[in-house]
Amino acid sequence: MNPDVLKAMKLIKELEVLAKDNPHATALLKQKKKQLEALTGTVSKEVQKKIIDAAKAVAPNLESAPAVERANALMAVDEFRAETVTPKYDNISQAELLLGLEARINDPEGVDQSSLNLCGPAAYCVLWAKHDPEGYAKAAIDLYKKGSYTYNGKTITANTDTFDQTPLAGMSKIDWMMLSAIRHSENAFYDYNPKNDRGTAAFTTHWEMTAWISNIVGIGENRDSSPTISSVNSAINSGKTVVLLVDWGQLSKNIKKKGKEGSKKSGKPDSLINSWTGNHYIIMTKPITVNGNQITFEIWTWASRRTITLQKEYFAIAAKDAFIVDDHER
């Protein structure tokens, strides 16, 4: 037996004992995990996967998409770099796609919908590139080459009208390609075309978000249709990721600005429909801090993290749905 496999088995046993007896020793757990990742580089992919799966089984709270998985994703990118292809997309060069792939593998939170109404696919792609970078990379490469991809049994097919379009200026071309295809493929009645991105053709329903997240290899999802500050904090503090569907008008109007109470329309939604359904997906990145009647929390949206402070009562008004992402299965 490969001596590194024997070392890996010993490390897995140490992880098991540590995770059971001292689960809060996160620094030591991560140190052991890094040692394990270093060992996997000397064995075959099949053995590598078995080692990683065994480690996840005994210490499920370890950080998602460890270095070895990102390395595998970058290997897939390098293999694609060596190919000569005739892509479906006329105005995205292979070099541009390669740059975009590397950026997303190394920084999933860089996904940016820009001015398109694709916050749902954007939030989904952040989670996908974070939790299964290799699957994300291979799907993007197939989409570029074939106009479609199949990931974990689900097939996504792009709108052929996008093949000769010029991607939106200022928007990453990989994001433009991926987000548009995901949105188009889900629509039963309307084609999605980023050239006339508007209305119901661009909106992501809660059942679509549930299906997308649940399809990411290795993670689970639970929907909370009545999210509260307490339930959101409970999920985040237990190591889970929370995606929120909010009425963005309500949230942004009531943000504390220079110590004043939002805008003149404070407390009023942009539209009656948005007040019922919500209209923007965000990812919670830190627990909500409560200070009297005021709350502060950090979110991801439009490719960056931002801190929001508002009156406590407005959270319940703005938050419509929560999707609790559990990557402990990884």
User: What's the whole-model pTM score?
Assistant: 0.78
DSSP for 89-127? -TTS-HHHHHHHHHHHHH-GGG---TTSS-HHHHHHHHH
The residue among 21 and 227 whose pLDDT is bigger is: 227
Q: Label residue 27 by pLDDT band (50, 70, 90).
A: low
Residue type, 232: V
Which among 303, 255, 262 is positioned nearest to 282, based on CA atoms? 303
Class of CATH domain 219-326? alpha beta
The residue among 262 and 48 whose pLDDT is bigger is: 48
Q: What is the pLDDT of residues 90-120, one digit of tens each?
A: 999 999 999 999 999 999 999 999 999 999 9
Instruction: Return the C-alpha torsion angle 323, 298, 128, 163, nearest 10.
Output: 110
Assigned token pair, 50: 């078995």
Assigned token pair, 166: 């010029």
Residue position matching structure tokens 């919500």: 278
| Terminal CA-CA length for the chain | 26
Q: What is the pLDDT of residues 146-197, one digit of tens each?
A: 999 999 999 999 999 999 999 999 999 999 999 999 999 999 888 999 998 8
Q: Label residue 59 by pLDDT band (50, 70, 90).
A: low
Residue 329 has pLDDT above 50, yes or no: no
Assigned token pair, 238: 């237990």
